Structure 1
Amino acid sequence: MSFYKRREGGEQPYWPFGPFKLRVPFVHYNVEGAEAVQAVVLSVVTISMIPLLQQHLGLPYDVAMAFVIICGICNMIPAFLGTPFIPGWITPAVPLVVIFLGDFEPGPEAIQALVAVQLLVFFIFFILGITKLGSKIVSVIPNSLKAGVVIGAGLAALIGEIGPEGTLGSSPISFIIGGLLTVYFMFSLSFKNLRQKSKIAETISNYGMVPAFIVAIIIGIAVSEYPMPDVEWGIVSPAFGEMWAYLPFSVGFPTLEMFMMAVPTAIIAYIIAYGDIIVGDTLIERVNDIRKDEEIENSIDRVHLITSVRNFIHALFAPYPGLAGPIWTAATATVIERYTFGRKAMDSVYGGAGTFHIANFMALFLLPLVTFFQPVLPIGLSLTLLVTGYLCVQVGMEQVHTNTERGIAGVTAAVLAIHGAAYGLITGIVLYILIEKVSKKSQEDTHSDNLEKKKIG
């Protein structure tokens, strides 16, 4: 039980701190059991970043684990500072960051390149958050370009998993079954209807991606696509002492050329992240209409500032291919879905959001859990990217309304998914100027001429 109690229809209690609203578990909100269980199992997603850190940055396993711990600390910041979102990576940008890092040798050079991307992402979020220009800046980006970026990021995620070197090729049975169960439990209309009739389906729904993850892991081990885990007991000991050798203070900060090369990837990462913010804000608006007992105040400017802080910490102390995103959409949607069942199910949305990453962080230190998940990390990351790809394509398609916009978005998405952020962004801008902007100008001129003729007549 929390120390402070919320009045009916009011905002969850907090301590004001500048633009932030400080909330502490047991003081300002209750700890939620369902979110704690889900977070512990989904720690497989959190630690699934380790293979990317090893492969693309050249980190030893224990140092990569230390980076993951830093990420876990950063992920607890948003709930503490007053946002109802469950944070995560900018997941759709992961394939694009990986493509960008492919131009650099794993080790100091790749670390510097990633620091460049992450510092630029920090700078974008901070400037737009402190000036409150975030929504205005993104609102001027054409729908066709936004859709192309989002769809392209989704396609990059899907291609990476179903391509020749993806998880589909290395562990097809667990990937196909786990993937089908994941999309069925999360997106199927028939399962949503079943949820209303079946307690079992309702329980499965409460735990989001977890049931499909567990099935995929069991199948993967059973059919020998993944080795049997060698479970060890004790507490994880990340190599914090060795970590310093892999930070920009030791390997050096990025050159100006690296910053220039990183600009397109950083811009696209921000556009994707902003799209996630809008999706999350829409979810909050919907539950505000459903739950009248709590008023959820969600400041986009505060989200920008919090996200900038996390990216700054990462850039200096744990450069991360996933970057620091404002929202883990799938996890947030799962928590909000349970929140809609009323105050008895979840007293406050901040209880669900706050509990999730506290439990997730604590799970990172459980050696039996980490060693159990270690052999199956690829399937955890793959199913996350699969969900991300589906959502990106779905959201991107909703952005476009004319055949011209669809054509530009489709070509932009294809170039971006295959050739990376820079070529995709340039393609989208050029196509917009040549096709859509010229077309709009022609329509406006024709409309003006018709009005003039009517006046003369």
Structure 2
Amino acid sequence: MQLKHRREGDEQPYWPAGPFKIRLPFVHYRWESAEMIQALIMFVVSLSAIPLLDQYLGVPYDVALAYVVICGIGFMLPALLGVPLVPGWITPAVPVVLVFLGDFAPGPEAIQALFALQFLVFLIFFVMGITGLGRRLVHLVPNSLQAGIIIGAGIAAITGEIQPGGRLAETPISLVLGMLLSVFMLFSVAFRGWVARHVLFRKIANYGMVPGMIAAILIAWALNEYPRPTVEFGITQPNFGELWNYLPFTVGFPGIEVFLLAIPTAIIAYVIAFGDILVGRSLMSRADHLRRDEKIDYSTDRIHHVTGLRNLIHAFFAPYPGLAGPIWTAVTATMAERYKHGRRAMDSIFSGAGTFWITGFFALFMLPLVSLFQPVLPIALSLTLLLTGYICLMVGIEQTQTTAERGVAGTMAVVLAVYGAGWGLAAGVVLYYLVEKQNLLGREAREAIPEEAIDEEAAQSESSAVSADTGAAQPR
């Protein structure tokens, strides 16, 4: 229950605050039990940053846990301030960030470097949001380039897990079975048929990728792919007192040369985050189309403001290898899937997003849960990366309308995944002008020569495939 209720077809109630729209649980939206239960499992993904903080920054466990708590505060801000997405890291950028940090010694040097990087990411989001360039960029970038960014991020996320030496090679059975179960429950047309016919499957479907996560963990323990936990009781003890010794206020702020070294990585991170914004836009557009009872305000400027604010907080108080990204793709897709089943399933998109990370924040202090999942933190991170990659591929391919767009997007995506976002974006722009434009200053070739006339049969086949997939959890 909540104090303020939405009229049919309106926005969810809020308190206006400049560019933000403040919403509180039990006041502006109801508490969602399904998202609460998901968060009690999925919060372990945020804990998986602890080994990265130890390895690359030289931060001890109890201080790294304090970093994660600050990250949890940032995770609650988007729903509080009017963004309808479940936030996360800039996940596909993590490998690029770690390569950047690898050039600095763990300790003060690496902390300064990460501060420089995250502060630059804040500046990019702030400028793009305050000027409205981010909003215009979403509408000005051609379909093929949007799709190339999304698909490239997906390829990078999956490749990092399945390449030799990756986590899939180390724990193949648990990860493969967990991934297959998650994909089946989230996107299978057959499973949706079961959900429509059976109450039991309908209840299971409410929990998204949680059943896949639990299955992967149980299999890993059963096959000794990961050690069994030693459960402890009590409240976790993040070491906020010692935290100050691992912040730029104490270790020192970086010089201008470090900022210059961080610029390429910051641009790459924003390009990938821009792709995440496009994914979120597609997911919310599909949800808004299906649910006429609520108007979803998906403001690109507000997303930039909130994401920039989170990166600013991180830079000064918890420099973070995952950075602060606009969307946790796998969980947002799960939430959007449940949302489209109607108001009884989820009253508002904000009730789902808000409930999830408020629960996840308090779960960080539950020592039995933290100690239970601590040995299997890599599983949570791997499943998230693999599902993020799958969803990015699904949404990116759907973004294209013609074979020319698909060719440009696919080539750009491969270059982005292999050589980085900068080269990928350059390749996409060049190919767009060479392939899709009739001439450098003219209209797009597909406007002058309709592709349907060239390849009508292929277009009809694509249309049939899309129609057959309307039951799947795919944003339009």
- TM exceeding 0.5: yes
1:206 aligned partner, one-letter code: N
What is the distance in 1 between the residues matched to 2:246 and 2:237? 17
Identify which range, 407-416 or 80-89, moves more after superposition. 407-416
With 132-141 and 36-45 compared, the bigger mean Cα shift is at 132-141
Counterpart in 1 of 2:321? 321
Tell me which residue corresponds to 1:443: 439
Q: CA deviation at 1:276?
A: 2.2
Change (3 A) 1:267 1:3: same
How many percent identity over aligned positions? 58
Deviation of 1:42 (Å): 0.6
Farther-moved stretch of structure 1 (347-356 vs 361-370)? 347-356
* Contact 1:231/1:372, CA 8 A, preserved across alignment: yes
Whether contact under 8 Å (2:409, 2:428) holds in the other structure is: no
2:249 aligns with 249
Q: Does 1:389 align with 2:389?
A: yes
For residues 397 and 285 of structure 1, what CA distance do their matches in structure 2 show? 16
Q: Distance in 2 between matches of 1:335 and 1:215?
A: 20
CA contact (8 A) 2:405 2:436 kept: no
Task: Tell me the residue number matched to 2:68.
Answer: 68
Show the 5 A alignment for 1:53-452.
Answer: 53-141=53-141, 143-400=143-400, 409-419=409-419, 421=420, 424-426=421-423, 428-429=425-426, 432-433=429-430, 435-438=431-434, 443=439
CA contact (8 A) 2:279 2:392 kept: no
**Cα gap change, 1:152/1:282 in structure 2, threshold over 3 Å: closer, same or farther?**
closer
Q: Cα offset for 1:362? A: 0.6
C-alpha spacing 1:283/1:439, structure 2 compared with 1 (3 Å): closer
Task: Identify which range, 398-407 or 376-385, moves more after superposition.
Answer: 398-407
Q: Given residue 372 of structure 1, which amino acid in structure 2 is its aligned partner?
A: L
What is the distance in 1 between the residues matched to 2:198 and 2:207?
Answer: 15
SS at structure 2 position matched to 1:426:
helix
Moved more, 156-165 or 395-404: 395-404
Q: Are 1:14 and 2:11 matched, yes or no? A: no
Q: Is the 8 A contact 2:408 2:435 kept in 1?
A: no
How far apart, in 2, do the equivalents of 1:430 and 1:290 lie? 36
What is the deviation of 1:51?
1.6
Q: Distance in 1 between the 2:340 and 2:406 partners?
A: 35
- Matched-pair contact (CA < 8 Å) for 2:4–2:27: yes
The answer to whether the 8 Å contact 1:155/1:413 transfers is yes
Q: Is the 8 Å Cα contact of residues 412 and 425 (structure 1) preserved in structure 2?
A: no
Cα deviation, 1:306-338, whole Å, max 9, x if unaligned, reads 111111001111111111111222212222222
The change in CA–CA distance for 1:290 and 1:358 in structure 2 (over 3 A counts) is same
Worse-superposed segment, 399-408 or 29-38: 399-408
Higher mean C-alpha deviation, range 140-149 or range 215-224 = 140-149
Deviation (angstroms), 1:151:
3.0
Match of 1:443, SS state, is: coil
Structure 1 residues 431 and 48 mapped into 2: Cα distance closer, same or farther (>3 Å)?
Answer: closer
Per the alignment, residue 28 of structure 2 pairs with 28
Name the stretch that deviates more: 358-367 or 152-161. 152-161
What is the deviation of 1:366? 0.2
1:155 offset after TM fit, Å?
Answer: 2.4
Amino acid paired to 2:229: P
What is the TM-score when the length of structure 2 is the normalising length?
0.86
Q: Is the 8 A contact 1:146 1:271 kept in 2?
A: no
Structure 1: segments with no counterpart, 5+ residues: 448-457
RMSD, aligned CA: 2.4
> How much does 1:343 deviate?
2.2
- Greater Cα shift, 280-289 or 377-386: 280-289
Q: Partner letter of residue 437 of structure 1?
A: Y
Residues 433 and 439 in structure 2, CA contact (< 8 A), matched pair in contact too: no
CA distance in structure 1 between the partners assigned to 2:188 and 2:167 by the alignment: 23
Amino acid corresponding to residue 37 of structure 1 in structure 2: I
Alpha-carbon deviation of 1:404? 6.2
Distance 2:105 2:168 in 1: 26
Following superposition, the deviation at residue 158 of structure 1 comes to: 1.7
SS of residue in 2 equivalent to 1:21: strand
Q: Which has the higher mean CA deviation after the structures are superposed, 314-323 or 6-15?
A: 6-15
- Cα distance change of structure 1 residues 63 and 381 upon mapping to structure 2, 3 Å threshold: same
Aligned residue-pair number: 443
Matches of 1:409 and 1:255 in 2, distance apart?
38
Matched to 2:207, the amino acid is: Y
CA contact (8 A) 2:149 2:275 kept: no
**Does the Cα contact within 8 Å between 1:90 and 1:322 map onto a contact in 2?**
yes
Amino acid at match of 2:361: F
